[in-house]
A and B are shown apart, each in its own frame.
Chain A
Amino acid sequence: MNFMKYDFMRNGFLAILLIAPLFGILGTMIVNNKLAFFSDALGHSAFTGVAIGVLLHIADTNLTMAVFAIIFALLLNAIKRKDSLSTDTIISVFSSFSTAIGLVILSLGGQFSKYSALLVGDILSISKKEIILLLLVFLATLLFWGFCFNRLEAASLNISLAKSKGVPVTTIESIFAVFIALIVMFSIKWVGILLINALLILPAASARNIAGNMREYHLFSILISLFSGLLGLVLSYFLNTATGPTIVIIASVFFFLTLLAKPLVKS
């Protein structure tokens, strides 16, 4: 494996080994709970997070991004619960508003080109330290899944029924929203604002086409995510293309293949 002699390829490889299953797992419940718009809006709010960091002269914009995303996610959840407006309308308003604020601040004095890398991301720029952080986030997600998955699933099927069974629905949904917020913010530098949602949604959406229960759903989602990630990395090296978009193309092909296979599997 000739291309593995480069440090950035090795780090990129390790990062994908972590990000891909993480996205595969998280995506299952994002799709189940119809939160695709929500995670997309979170991605867009990254601009505002960075902008706030720049305004406040905080060197580590990761921190302001994460804090802003968590506030954004919880606020969105609270407004959603009031349900006087339709959810996708609310999310679109929030998303456009925060993107615009971020872009206005970052473009002050014609400085935007400095931040445009955020749009596409670069998985090969990940450092050892960031990989370790990613590993910690991955472990935290596994713990959350292990201890809270049934309650999350119960709430996603029917909120009233879950509440009657004593599931703390609001708490569980808030924790889940915070997890999505943190993971989106944490990976956006490597995956990019434009494509992060595709990587979260596509593996799970493909897995749903062919899975008959929760175990298959998770297994297929993780495998598709991992396979697309690794194949995308290798292909992008040989074709000299951007890694993120290459992965998304492969994952999309998986989606269409599973869609075609659906009538065969489910009959």
Chain B
Amino acid sequence: MEKLKIGAGACGFHCIKVKDFSVRAGTTMLLEHINLHIHCGRLTVIIGRNGAGKSTLIKAMLGEIRHEGTIEFRDIKQNAIRRLQIGYVPQYLNIDKNTPASVYDMFAAYISKIPVCLYQSKRVYKQVKERLSLFAAQDLIDRQVGDLSGGELQRVLLSIACTPVPNLLLLDEPVSGIDRNGIELFYKNIEMLKRNYDLAMILVSHDLEFVEKYADYVILLDKTIIREGTPDKVLSSREFKEVFGSSKTAWVG
């Protein structure tokens, strides 16, 4: 097996195995026989054309759509099966622009039981601010969610998904709406997570340029895994050229 770099914060002793995932809609197969081996401290990026089943795979791993196959989370050191905690960063929120929810309201709704419609708890406020500050988003706490830019919203969602820090973080990257600085900052945050925490990450990405720069492992998906490996290997493969043509950057999926 190829030698892969592992984040400094990871113990390297946890592994997550996706075994034989398949998803069907009626008689059509959306995903077939997906087998993944994911290590903590590693950023695995899923790429593929539109409709290749990238988001479907994420939804199946979240247990939100019916699928065949299992996920196993193993502690190699103690050879024990553990309960897998999954964090999720969605592509977008299902809200109107004028939804009267502040970042505090949104955050507290996911991590606290004190009703946000009744009052703002000082303790929770402090906690939310602390978590946001990990991702350079502490100044957004009183802003209205609908007013955030794509990049700001992504940072807030990232900190919600990481409170508490999960074993596996699933990220569905927005197709558009985030500027270059936002994307850079996002990947910086991912690197920070890799450095400081013991977690595995799977990112559905639409930006191949950044994939090449930041991914540890790349999976090229087209209903099933048609190629996987280190970024340079996958991005120079025949299968990759068949899916994307020869251009790496002029593509949005």
Contacts and interface: CB of A to CB of B under 8 A. Distances in A.
A179 interface: no
A135 interface: no
A161 B88 contact: yes
B114 A150 contact: yes
B102 A214 contact: yes
B206 to A, nearest CB: 18
A164 B87 contact: yes
A212 B97 CA distance: 11
Interface string A125-153: 00000000000000000000111011101
B116 A165 contact: no
A175 interface: no
Contact of B105 (A145, A209, A213): A213
Contacts of A213: 100-102, 104-105, 116, 120, 142, 144
Contacts of A217: 100-101, 117
Give the interface size class of chain A: 20 to 34
Given A146-B115, A153-B116, A157-B95, A211 B88 contact: no
A153 B101 contact: yes
A150 B144 contact: no
Given A28-B117, A164-B86, A150 B104 contact: no
A223 to B, nearest CB: 14
A212 B105 CA distance: 10
A150 B106 contact: no
Contact of A214 (B87, B94, B117): B117
A182 to B, nearest CB: 20
Interface string B68-91: 000000000000000000111110
Contacts of A211: 100
A151 B63 CA distance: 19
Interface of A: 28, 32, 145-147, 149-151, 153-154, 156-165, 167, 207-209, 211-218, 262
8 contacts: A149-B116, A149-B117, A151-B109, A157-B94, A160-B64, A165-B111, A208-B100, A213-B100
Top 5 closest pairs, chain A to chain B, by CB:
A211-B100, A164-B88, A217-B100, A213-B102, A149-B115
